[in-house]
Amino acid sequence: MVSRVIPVQPFDLVVFGGTGDLARRKILPALFRRYCAGQMGDAARVIGAARAEMDDTAYRDFVRGAITEFGADTACAPDQLEAFLGQIGYVTLDAQGAQGWDALKARLGDADRIRAFYFSVGPGLFADLAARIETHGLAGPDTRVVVEKPFGRDLASARSLNADLAKHFDETQIYRIDHYLGKETVQNLMAIRFGNMLFEPLWNSQYVDHIQITVAESGGVGSRGDYYDKAGAMRDMMQNHIMQLLCLTAMEPPAKYDPHAVRDEKLKVIRALGPVEPGDVVRGQYEGTDSLPGYLEEVGDDSSRTESFVALKARIGNWRWAGTPFYLRTGKRLRARASEIAVVFKDAPHSIFGADAGRHRNILTIRLQPNEGIEMGVTIKEPGPGGMRLVDVPLDMTFSEALGPEAGDIPDAYERLIMDVIRGDQTLFMRGDEVEAAWEWTDPIIEAWDAPGAEPCPYATGSSGPDDALALMHRDGRRWREIRI
């Protein structure tokens, strides 16, 4: 199956922080891949901007290096890279000073075309950038700004960032990235739910026993220790990525697939989340091994109480989900790098096969990584003579197998999202009120951890997290699915 690529309109994309880690690893390779796919077009221009002194040639060398390192898997011809680099420029610019803004204005000129500003810098610079874009007359009706996570560290800071952006841009111009929403499987969650008759009638507390969402990483904090120790798993993963997965899993069918309808429904889910009881949340810190440092050693602070793992039981107080808990967990240095949403259905109301047949449950698993795909666990008869023995088998739809080799080359989330920015489609971006509502739910959980004695539980590297997290489900007569590749 060959996927259709519709070229976007000509655009100018200014990447503030164009020399940074995110630009190097994600944004620039994503643009190159879209160029190779024929979507970016020959008239598009990309302008990197940062304080480092560089000319266009030096920046193109930088971009070439980034693509060689992080975009080399693309099916591009070698001459495409040189042509792509011809569309790249650079401006030395200070977000907090006067330097470079006139040069950027001159570069952009008066062309009447889509103009996107990607804020790939720390959130401390968002307000400065937004103000200077306006002061220098760089914004017009076809202007969009893209802002990166973290969007605040609590409700107050998120409100303040929203207010800073709202002084200069309309909400319809602001694209808050959560790259999880750009993942193909996450969008497929909506396709499965709302494109099939099969699932939606069962998608409620009458038929669903519980839902588990796991985002497990096998690596530790590594070189991101400084950032991570100020954030922790709750801020880094739960408040944004897992919250988005929860919303798409739990929301009501929007009237149509458009930014307002989808985001309205997600917001209703967040607002329906009940407060999390202190006994329903477990946080942990990984221990070291003979060859790997533990969390405290890695961040270089023996007294850190920041969590590298969090598991909790969430309840959604609405008609659809009352009585069906959502168990959420995320952590580092776990058994495997594996993320999934598992919808665990209830037992059949009566077994005609008797107690010997055992307990069988349907589980619909939406795998985000690795091997993006969907698996439906169904119960069938074990083949062979000798009575009715039941066995659970997966109906497995790994996208790359089901849709052919073309579909195996699934675009990276950033490719999809950047093109959506250019197209002006905000459906997969978080709205300001959504982000604030998510912080409103998260803040009390984090604040409770400030209490004396509320220490994170240690857990072994390569495990499934602290024992208390296992107990969180055991006491409800349930268990976590195994974390496996």
Q: How far is the CB of 414 from ligand NAP (least distance, A)?
A: 10
Q: Is 183 annotated as a binding residue?
A: yes
Three-class SS of residue 211? strand
Q: How far is the CB of 394 from ligand NAP (least distance, A)?
A: 33
Instruction: Candidates 10, 20, 424, 458: give the one binding ligand NAP (CB under 6 A).
Output: 20
51 scored as a contact of ligand NAP (CB under 6 A): yes
Of 116, 148, 162, the C-alpha closest to 421 is 116
Of 5, 33, 143, 32, the C-alpha closest to 88 is 32
Q: How far is the CB of 38 from ligand NAP (least distance, A)?
A: 27
Q: Quote the CA–CA distance of 397 and 262 in Å, as a whole number.
A: 26
- For ligand NAP, which is the closer residue by CB, 54 or 282? 54
Task: Mark residue 152 as left, alpha or beta (left: phi above 0; alpha: psi -120 to 50; beta: remaining).
Answer: left
The string of DSSP letters for 377-404 reads EEEEEPSSSSS--EEEEEEEEEHHHHS-
Residue from 241, 260, 360, 474 carrying the catalytic annotation: 241
19 scored as a contact of ligand NAP (CB under 6 A): yes
Provide φ and ψ at 93, rounded to 5°. -155, 145
Q: Is 404 annotated as a binding residue?
A: no
Query: Is 350 one of the annotated active-site residues of the chain?
Result: no
The count of residues interacting with ligand NAP (CB under 6 A) is 23
Restricting to residues 129-188, name those near ligand NAP by CB under 6 A: 148-150
Structure tokens that stand for 304 in this block: 């850190």
Chain-centre distance of CA 263, in angstroms? 15
Chain-centre distance of CA 439, in angstroms? 16
- For ligand NAP, which is the closer residue by CB, 95 or 262? 95
Chain-centre distance of CA 350, in angstroms? 40
According to DSSP, the residues that pair with 463 across neighbouring strands are: 334
Q: How far is the CB of 149 from ligand NAP (least distance, A)?
A: 5
Instruction: Candidates 121, 146, 213, 270: give the one binding ligand NAP (CB under 6 A).
Output: 121
Q: How far is the CB of 142 from ligand NAP (least distance, A)?
A: 24
Q: How far is the CB of 125 from ligand NAP (least distance, A)?
A: 6
Peptide bond into 150 cis (omega under 30): yes
Q: Would you tell me how many other CB atoms lie within 10 Å of the CB of residue 45?
A: 18
Q: How far is the CB of 58 from ligand NAP (least distance, A)?
A: 12
Q: Would you tell me how many other CB atoms lie within 10 Å of the CB of residue 154?
A: 15
Q: Is 346 annotated as a binding residue?
A: no
Q: Is 179 annotated as a binding residue?
A: yes
**What is the pattern of x (binds ligand NAP, CB under 6 A) and - over residues 23-42?**
x-------------------
Instruction: Candidates 56, 94, 265, 392: give the one binding ligand NAP (CB under 6 A).
Output: 94
Task: Mark residue 408 as left, alpha or beta (left: phi above 0; alpha: psi -120 to 50; beta: remaining).
Answer: alpha
The stretch near ligand NAP (CB under 6 A) out of 12-20, 183-191, 449-457, 458-466 is: 12-20
Instruction: Candidates 5, 21, 388, 405: give the one binding ligand NAP (CB under 6 A).
Output: 21
Instruction: Candidates 13, 28, 31, 50: give the one binding ligand NAP (CB under 6 A).
Output: 50
Instruction: Candidates 7, 10, 41, 52: give the one binding ligand NAP (CB under 6 A).
Output: 52
Q: Quote the CA–CA distance of 156 and 194 in Å, as a whole number.
A: 35
The string of DSSP letters for 442-474 reads HHHHHHHTTSTT-PPEEE-TTBSS-HHHHHHHH
Q: Quote the CA–CA distance of 31 and 283 in Å, as a whole number.
A: 38
Q: Is 217 annotated as a binding residue?
A: yes
- DSSP assigned state of 215: E
- Which residues are part of a known binding site for NADP(+)? 17-24, 51, 149
- Which residues are part of a known binding site? 17-24, 51, 149, 179, 183, 217, 236, 332
Binding residues for ligand NAP, rule: CB under 6 A, are: 16-23, 50-52, 93-96, 120-123, 125, 148-150
- Which residues are part of a known binding site for substrate? 179, 183, 217, 236, 332
Residues recognised as catalytic: 241
